Structure 1
Amino acid sequence: MELRQLQYFVKVARKQHVTQAAEEMHVAQSAVSRQIHLLEEELGVNLFVQKGRNLHLTSVGHLFLSRIEGILTDLERAVGEMHEFLDPEAGEIRIGFPHSLVINLLPAVVASFKKDHPNVKFRLRQGTYASLIRDVTRGEIDLAFISPFPESHEHVSGEILLTEELYAIIPSNHILAEYTSIRLEQLKHESFVMFSEEYTLRAIVMEACLKAGFVPKIEFEGEETDTIRGLVAAGMGVSLLPSMALIEGGQMQPTKIRVTDPQVTRTVGLICRKGEKLPLVAEVFRRFLYEYFQ
């Protein structure tokens, strides 16, 4: 059994497709297929079953994957620790983040950290709330910015870095555009532009609207803050966004107004895998972040 076979197996299991797995690993499809076949022959079991154009794990394939992912994660961590031992300032930090933090926050903190640690590399992964927790739990990333911060979780732990206010955004020609603050109730008859259901910002906005006594009428859904801002600026509805997602850019910008009743906020935290020691360079970055946000 070779390391290459195990790496191919995990990639195919995640992609459920040999061609896509081969393209991502920059190897020939035939090479991936052959190594998977050899692995199944050595184990004496079928790890995959064909369903349409996709490959699905068999029951024993799921069991094998759960063990192999842990082994490969430990191996990757061991190699990283060896490199850090030789030169801690030349290590790599694997960090995840939600889309709403990439506009301003993440570039700022990384740039600040790199001033004193110029040789440290970053491997960045964008994700949703659920996928970031999953990737930290699996050991695929060392740290993750996350919002809202999970106060209690079986597999991850961390601390809140900041609490951020959400603002109402409306078209610039809206009747409320001259106001400096509004009650959320004043938007109850408006059409809303919302994030899709897998994004936690949607849940925060929905909860705030319910507290204000109404269920928002959702006209459009999107997956990026730029899309939400653009639709609102074009007069397609109203929305609520965190302040760091309202960095001005481009000609079409909505009007930003503070919401006072109820005040709407979100927590932004940093998580890692519970009960596990971080790689040295990631621990240095974690401490830097706590000091940065103090």
Structure 2
Amino acid sequence: MELRQLLYFVKVAQKEHVTKAAEELHVAQSAVSRQIHQLEQELGVDLFIQKGRNVHLTAVGQLFCSRVEAIIKDLELAVNEVHEFLDPEQGEIRLGFPHSLGIHLIPSIVAEFRKLYPNVKFRFKQGMFPSLIRDVTMAEVDLAFISPFPESHDQVVGNLVLTEELVAILPPSHPLAQEETIHLSQLKEDKFILFSKGYSLRPIVWQACLEAGFSPKIAFEGEETDTIRGLVAAGMGVSLLPEMALFQTNLLQPARVRISNPRVTRTIGLIHRSDDKLPLVAQSFRKFLLEYFASASK
């Protein structure tokens, strides 16, 4: 069974006429008839019945046609994907990132990139550190922002693009809310609102508290930056969040205070599979990102 036979078969099914199908295919009518006959012989069934000058699909022909049309559609998509893979100005970029970067950073950089490449499409996938690593290694995304940046990994490689400071967020009525800077130890009696286990920010905050001489008392655990920020603003406790996670999304906002001792930071990296060649459009995006962060750090 050849692809040509399937293409001829579908065209005849669509036109319900061998001559009209041949004209649209720009081949001789005899060539189309011969290919259809060979296909029927190979399958051992009649795919068409003659009705006057037209032909109509038999019941089994209808079943076969629906499958063949799906195969041809998938093949066309595959060809288009190959073309997009080789075109740095089109195609789709599959990007993974943690939730905290989706508030401001990801929309900002995507908007800037699309000014240069307006035809590029994006598919986004949010996740925690383990799931982002898995998405990259399983080729479910082309690139991923990840925190903390894994400096050594068997299956992924990348670049450290940003080191971001974490600040204390406090209820507006907190005694330290008006301070410019504090020592983290000044919060040792407060109750903390932390990310749930599995989120990369949790061990960063926990380790910082240990360095400051205390273990944080946990009041609540959450999975969304907005939830933690809202609970702090409502007076339910204190927390530490990256600055880029503090862009206003509602009226209820906590106070933010810098921490001078210890300095609390997180690293953010851009990673991809170590054994895979990126599509050209993803290569263009990666180059843009590295230049974007290099320029921002100057």
TM-score, normalized by length of structure 2? 0.71
Matching residue's letter, 1:118: P
Q: Is the 8 A contact 1:81 1:280 kept in 2?
A: no
Aligned residue in 1 for 2:113: 113
- Relative to structure 1, the CA distance from residue 175 to residue 86 in structure 2 (aligned partners, 3 Å threshold; closer, same or farther) is closer
Summarize the Cα distance change of 1:292–1:80 in structure 2 as closer, same or farther, 3 Å threshold.
farther
The equivalent of 2:282 in structure 1 is: 282
User: In structure 1, how many angstroms separate the alpha carbons of the residues matched to 2:99 and 2:251?
Assistant: 21
In the alignment, the residues of structure 2 paired with residue 130 and residue 170 of structure 1 have an alpha-carbon distance, to the nearest angstrom, of: 30
Letter in 2 for 1:220: F
Say yes or no: does 1:169 pair with 2:169.
Answer: yes
Letter in 1 for 2:213: G
Q: Which residue pairs with 2:18 in the alignment? A: none
- Residue number in structure 2 paired with 1:180: 180
Contact map agreement 2:209 2:215 (CA 8 A) in 1: yes
Match of residue 149 from structure 1: 149
Moved over 3 A (4+): 77-81, 85-88
SS at match of 1:204: helix
**Matching residue of 1:138:** 138
Which position in structure 2 is the counterpart of 1:236? 236
SS of the equivalent of 1:90 reads: coil
Query: What does residue 9 of structure 2 align with?
Result: none
List runs of 5+ in structure 2 lacking aligned partners.
1-74
AA of the residue aligned to 1:195: F
Structure 1, unaligned runs of 5 or more = 1-74
1:247 is matched with 247
Contact 1:166 1:240 in 2 (8 A): yes
- Shift of the 81–259 alpha-carbon distance from structure 1 to 2, 3 Å rule, reads same
1:258 and 2:258 correspond: yes
Contact 2:87–2:281, Cα closer than 8 Å, also in 1 = no
Aligned partner of 2:199 in structure 1 is 199
Shift of 1:275: 2.6
Q: Distance in 2 between matches of 1:125 and 1:85?
A: 20
How many residues of Structure 1 are paired with residues of Structure 2 in the alignment? 220
Give 1:51's aligned residue: none
CA displacement, residues 200-227 of structure 1 (integer Å, 9 cap, x when unaligned): 0001000100111110000101001100
Instruction: Indicate the structure (1 or 2) with the bigger Cα radius of gyration.
Output: 2
CA distance 1:176–1:80, shift in 2 (3 Å): farther
The Cα offsets for residues 21-46 of structure 1, whole Å up to 9 and x where unpaired, read as: xxxxxxxxxxxxxxxxxxxxxxxxxx
Q: TM-score, normalised by structure 1?
A: 0.72
Asked whether the equivalents of residues 157 and 271 of structure 1 are also in contact (C-alpha less than 8 Å), the reply is: yes
Counterpart CA distance in 2 for 1:154 and 1:265 is 25
Alignment of 1:45-124 (within 5 A): 82-84=82-84, 87-124=87-124
* Alpha-carbon displacement from aligned partner over 1:96-134 (angstroms, at most 9, x marks no partner): 010000000000000000001000000100111100000
2:160 match: 160
Q: Name the CA distance, whole Å, in 1 between partners of 2:263 and 2:111.
A: 32
Q: CA deviation at 1:249?
A: 2.5
Q: Secondary structure at the match of 1:276?
A: coil
Task: Tell me how far apart the structure 1 counterparts of residues 249 and 90 of structure 2 sit (CA, whole Å).
Answer: 35
Conserved 8 A contact 2:182-2:257: yes
Paired with 1:101 and 1:205, the residues of 2 have a C-alpha distance of 17
- Same amino acid, percent of matched pairs: 65
Query: What's 1:58 paired with?
Result: none
Cα distance, 1:240 vs structure 2: 0.0
1:65 is aligned to none
Pairwise CA distance, 1:78: 6.7
CA contact (8 A) 2:88 2:282 kept: no
Question: Cα offset for 1:83?
Answer: 2.2
Is the CA contact (8 Å cut-off) linking 2:233 and 2:252 kept in structure 1? yes
Q: Using the alignment, how far apart are the partners of 2:110 and 2:275 within structure 1? A: 25
1:268 to 1:80, Cα distance in 2 relative to 1, 3 A: farther
Determine the C-alpha separation between the residues in 1 that align with 2:151 and 2:256.
30
After superposition, the CA RMSD in angstroms is 1.8
Question: Cα distance, 1:86 vs. partner?
Answer: 6.7
